[in-house]
Amino acid sequence: MYLIQVRFFWQTFVYLRRINFSKTYPMDHAPWDMLNHPERLASAWLGTPYMGQRPLDDSNKDLDRIVMAAVGRLTGGMSPIALWMAYIDWITHLQLSPSKQQELLIDGWHKVARWQGYAYDTMRHADSTLEPCVDPLPQDKRFADPAWQQWPFSVMYQGFLMSQQWWHRATTGISGVSKHHEEVVTFAARQLLDMLSPSNFASMNPVVINEAVRSQGQNFIRGATNAANDWLHDISATPHEHAFKVGETLAAAPGKVIFRNRLIELIQYAPASSTVHTTPVLIVPAWIMKYYILDLSPHNSLVRYLVEQGHTVFMISWKNPVAADRELTMDDYRTLGIMDAIETICKTTQSPILHAVGYCLGGTLLSIAAATMARDNDQRLASMPLFASQVDFKEPGELSLFIDESQVALLEALMWEQGYLDSRQMAGAFQMLRSNDLIWSRRLNHYLLGLPEKVTDLMAWNMDTTRMPYRMHIQYLRDLFLHNDLAEGRYSVNGQPIALSDIRVPIFSVGTITDHVAPWRSTYKIHLLTDTEVTYCLTSGGHNAGVVSPPGHPNRQYQISRHLPTDPYINPEDWHRTTPSQEGSWWAAWEGWLSSQSPHRQKPPSMPPAVCDAPGTYVLQR
């Protein structure tokens, strides 16, 4: 501390001698008088002109943002301060917990002894398979190959799994550590351990060794070729660089773009039946990715399925923002997106009402729009289905690992400098959440085993990323994620607060059992926050694969029940335990519910003059 003070005063003296007082300080004052005016001294220290005493408004933070943006570029958008604070919280409380230290010491000693005994037994009985000390988690497929059960590889992977168990115990259950910091430290420890897994090293992986022997080392040559191709062509290739082509094999349901503004293109899909339900359907997808997750290949397109069942379907296709769109707000997405689409659809179909469907963030935005419409007595919504959508962000899932004040401040600085959040910065967070599937498994198959990349339609869509405009994304992160304003009644539209409890239209809410983006228990909270009829459906699968679940898809199940406003509340655990499971796709159950909301049919409405053919131009923007 003494050295820092000496350095401060010495640099102050140097700057006082070097600065141009005519710019930074009026010449009728003595230089030492600056010490009585810290704002003038700060200008001299930084070498910037003194602009007089100004209020600390947003423009005064530019220098802070420049520095934080530079840090963000170095760390890939991760806040080192957030990680350091989590580490300090964990390590200091661990030092204050001698009983926890004793517990870890004893547990580590027992694990080492058990592992040594297992290693000795497997060495003596190399031809037999012994009972393992610990089994991998059900979702961990790294050691599923029978070759891992042979010595010495069984000893390697058992030691790794026991280390993984010990570190999980070391980073959890420590008194005094905040829940968020505990989750961050546990996640960081898991990432480091996954990096060191024996499955990631050719010399320790029996599957790689066997393939090298079988192919006489050709797998390494193929892997090197794959790595070179990835380096030259960028592994985040778009669908246009694969067999899947947007407008040909993806997003190929026939239709027309009937409306376009600076933020959306509105697609109307061509009818596939002689009569249609009288109430049209608007789908509001998330703007975090391209809309055609709901119109993938013909066999798993939700759009085609609805059209074939006699529904008139409209889809919002969001623009991929650039730096010039930096000031787009959440309310711009509501007005230019949902409200302009509703106005166009009602005018086109001559229907006074419509069904509005929201997926992921699109469902969150739709809920805001629906609450605003209810407040303003706008009765154009007939129902509001929500797919994997959250309106309460108190328990947002594993994404909360990357969302705290420090992290948001860093992202804000990056977006302020760029005008948007780059798609690669978002993709990195999602890849880390599923690093075994998206990073290490790919590295093993593509580089060590030399297998060709097998791109599915869902993978091609996942690589077709988008950007987030600065102003909107900061509002989303702060108002919804950090402060949970929507669920707690503080979210305002046009200067007036809105309440989800004002929504009176029927809701069909879908959660997916292994969703790491919108956990189903979080989506289940729609029962607590609205005062209307809620039909809740929980389906197998994850955030994307659970929603893209066409009839005929094998190994699919779902649970479904209807809850009226007068019915008593059932907590999610009891609901999950008591609601019967049904085989098959939830699509049919939802379509039946949707048809019951609009039982009458008519001839298909005529399509207005088109701006262009579907899928439009916004979806092709890079």
Are 39 and 95 within one domain? no
Are 148 and 10 within one domain? no
Which range has the worst mean pLDDT, 157-171, 228-242, 545-559? Answer: 228-242
Residue 409 pLDDT grade (very low, low, confident, very high; cuts 50, 70, 90): confident
Q: Note whether residue 225 is domain-resident.
A: no
Residues 6+ apart with CB under 8 A from 28: none
Helix and strand tally (H, E) in the chain? 24, 18
Query: What are the DSSP E strand ranges found in 360-517?
Result: 381-383, 386-387, 420-421, 468-469, 492-493, 496-497, 507-512
pLDDT at residue 230, rounded to an integer: 76
Are 86 and 201 within one domain? yes
Please give the residue that has the higher pLDDT: either 419 or 499: 499
In the predicted structure, residue 48 carries a pLDDT above the cut 50: no
Instruction: Quote the mean pLDDT of the chain.
Output: 85
* Tokens read off for 566: 């007068």
Active-site residue set = 360
pLDDT at residue 418, rounded to an integer: 83
CA–CA distance, 372 with 497 (Å, rounded to integer): 9
pLDDT at residue 29, rounded to an integer: 44
CA–CA distance, 213 with 190 (Å, rounded to integer): 32
Q: Note whether residue 224 is domain-resident.
A: no
DSSP annotation of 335? I
CA–CA distance, 264 with 177 (Å, rounded to integer): 45
Domain that holds residue 362: 273-311+326-397+470-606
Q: Note whether residue 337 is domain-resident.
A: yes
Are 10 and 91 within one domain? no
306, 221 Cβ separation under 8 angstroms: no
DSSP annotation of 130? P
Q: Which of 34, 52, 70 represents a domain boundary (last residue)?
A: 52
In the predicted structure, residue 158 carries a pLDDT above the cut 80: yes
Domains held by the chain: number? 3
Residue 564's nearest CA partner among 527, 595, 538 is 527
pLDDT, mean of residues 455-463? 86
CA–CA distance, 445 with 453 (Å, rounded to integer): 8
pLDDT, mean of residues 65-86? 81
Please identify which residue in the block is written with the tokens 């994304």. 473
In the predicted structure, residue 52 carries a pLDDT above the cut 80: no
Q: Note whether residue 239 is domain-resident.
A: no
DSSP annotation of 556? -
pLDDT, mean of residues 394-402? 77
Q: Is the peptide bond before 198 cis (omega within 30 degrees of 0)?
A: no
In the predicted structure, residue 107 carries a pLDDT above the cut 80: yes
Condensed to tens digits (0 to 9), the pLDDT of residues 300-335 reads 999 999 999 999 999 999 999 999 999 999 999 999
In the predicted structure, residue 541 carries a pLDDT above the cut 50: yes
Are 40 and 115 within one domain? no
Q: Note whether residue 248 is domain-resident.
A: no
Q: Note whether residue 348 is domain-resident.
A: yes
Residue 398 pLDDT grade (very low, low, confident, very high; cuts 50, 70, 90): confident
Q: Note whether residue 173 is domain-resident.
A: yes
H or E segment to which residue 80 belongs: helix 80-95
Residue 377's nearest CA partner among 496, 535, 279 is 496
Are 585 and 484 within one domain? yes
pLDDT at residue 431, rounded to an integer: 59
SS3 468: strand
Are 344 and 492 within one domain? yes
557, 513 Cβ separation under 8 angstroms: no
444, 282 Cβ separation under 8 angstroms: no
Are 4 and 106 within one domain? no
H or E segment to which residue 81 belongs: helix 80-95
Please give the residue that has the higher pLDDT: either 440 or 290: 290
What φ, ψ does residue 172 adopt, rounded to 5°? -130, 160
**536-556: b or e for each residue (b if 16 or more CB lie within 10 Å)?**
bbbbbbebbbbbbbbeebeeb
pLDDT at residue 1, rounded to an integer: 43
Residue 553 pLDDT grade (very low, low, confident, very high; cuts 50, 70, 90): confident
Condensed to tens digits (0 to 9), the pLDDT of residues 332-362 reads 999 999 999 999 999 999 999 999 999 999 9
pLDDT at residue 59, rounded to an integer: 55
448, 207 Cβ separation under 8 angstroms: no
Sequential DSSP letters for 476-518: IIIIIIIT-TTTTT--EETTEE--GGG--S-EEEEEETT-SSS
H or E segment to which residue 415 belongs: helix 405-418
In the predicted structure, residue 517 carries a pLDDT above the cut 80: yes
pLDDT, mean of residues 245-264? 94
Residues 6+ apart with CB under 8 A from 159: 115, 119
pLDDT, mean of residues 2-24? 42
Which range has the worst mean pLDDT, 19-23, 161-165, 420-424? Answer: 19-23
CATH of the domain at 519: 3.40.50.1820
Are 144 and 89 within one domain? yes
Which range has the worst mean pLDDT, 34-48, 516-530, 570-584? Answer: 34-48
472, 330 Cβ separation under 8 angstroms: yes
Are 39 and 108 within one domain? no
CA–CA distance, 355 with 339 (Å, rounded to integer): 13
Are 154 and 291 within one domain? no
Q: Enumerate the H helices of 301-359 as residue ranges.
A: 302-308, 330-332, 340-349
* Tokens read off for 57: 């408004």
Residue 223 pLDDT grade (very low, low, confident, very high; cuts 50, 70, 90): confident
pLDDT, mean of residues 523-547? 95
555 Rama sector, left if φ>0, alpha if ψ -120 to 50, beta otherwise? left
Work out the number of other CB atoms within 10 angstroms of the CB of residue 461: 24
Q: Note whether residue 321 is domain-resident.
A: no
**429-455: b or e for each residue (b if 16 or more CB lie within 10 Å)?**
bbebbeebebbbbbebbbbbbbbeeeb
Are 355 and 489 within one domain? yes
Strand-pair category, 557-563 with 534-539: antiparallel
Work out the number of other CB atoms within 10 angstroms of the CB of residue 320: 20
pLDDT at residue 426, rounded to an integer: 64
Between the alpha carbon of residue 287 and those of residues 117, 256, 271, 560, 568, the distances in Å are 54, 20, 26, 28, 36
pLDDT at residue 58, rounded to an integer: 55
Please give the residue that has the higher pLDDT: either 44 or 446: 446
What φ, ψ does residue 357 adopt, rounded to 5°? -110, 130
